[in-house]
Amino acid sequence: MVQTLGEGEGRVMTAQEIDRIECAIRHIQSSLDVDPWARDIAVDAMKKQMPKKVRITTSTKRCSVCGRQLSGIGNIHPERNYCQRCGQAIDWGSE
Ligand SMILES: [Zn+2]
């Protein structure tokens, strides 16, 4: 089952965990006895668990899914692992 991570929980997902989620997504997408709407919700929730790189604009760093501003351009907030609007896991990258 998909693990739930509390807001502000200061831990980064391992590559192995990401692999497991990708595997679970493939399973669900290929399973024909799941209602399509339930499949979409499950896949969407699991994808949000996988960190996505921030979208960098000229002056801000934003959530690449919903566009919410996460930080100014020079700042990294590693304690903020999730977008507060959509719940997407954030990868701040290394700069
Ligand atoms: Zn977002």
Q: What is the pLDDT of residue 76?
A: 87
- Cα 77 to averaged position of ligand 1 atoms, centre (Å): 15
Q: For the stretch 43-72, what's the b/e string if a residue is b when 16 or more beta carbons lie within 10 angstroms of its beta carbon?
A: beebebbebeebeeeeebbbbbbeeeebbe
- Cα 27 to averaged position of ligand 1 atoms, centre (Å): 25
- Cα 66 to averaged position of ligand 1 atoms, centre (Å): 4
Average pLDDT, 10 consecutive residues per value, the chain (95 residues): 50 85 94 91 93 93 95 88 93 75
Can you give the pTM of this predicted structure? Answer: 0.73
Residue 17: both structure tokens together: 């965990």
The phi and psi torsions of 55 (rounded to 5 degrees) equal: -90, 120
Q: What is the pLDDT of residue 8?
A: 47
- Cα 89 to averaged position of ligand 1 atoms, centre (Å): 8
